[in-house]
Amino acid sequence: MDEDFDEFLHVPARLAIVALLAPASWTDFRFVREALGTSESALSKQLSALAAQGFVEIDKRKLAGARRTSVRLTARGREAFRRHAGALERIAAAARTHPAATAD
């Protein structure tokens, strides 16, 4: 396996989150939830796991009486995603270069 392949990030929900956050700065929690089509509790669980690894930062604050939660990738998270995406690209390229033998 490629040394940059990250088992933790490869979990589909986490991979989708970091891919969505990668091109952005701070992103609204509701936007992430709606874009991924997931529940609030499922997203919170995955964000907490990503935060525990230092991959995302979560900002919770009250604005005009309403709770607002925003998230962003940390520098560590961006680097981990970049490396993991590179590993996936290399794995896919190797599969295209060496196709499995076809059955008769």
Question: pTM for the whole thing?
Answer: 0.88
Burial letters 47-86, b for 16+ CB under 10 A, else e: bebbeeeebbbeeeeeeeeeeebbbebbeebeebbebbbe
Say whether pLDDT at 103 is over 50.
no
- CATH class for domain 12-88? mainly alpha
What percentage of residues in the chain have a pLDDT greater than 90? 83
Token pair 């589909």 is found at: 12
Q: Report pLDDT digits (tens) over 20-69.
A: 999 999 999 999 999 999 999 999 999 999 999 999 999 999 888 889 99
Q: Tell me which DSSP letter residue 70 carries.
A: E
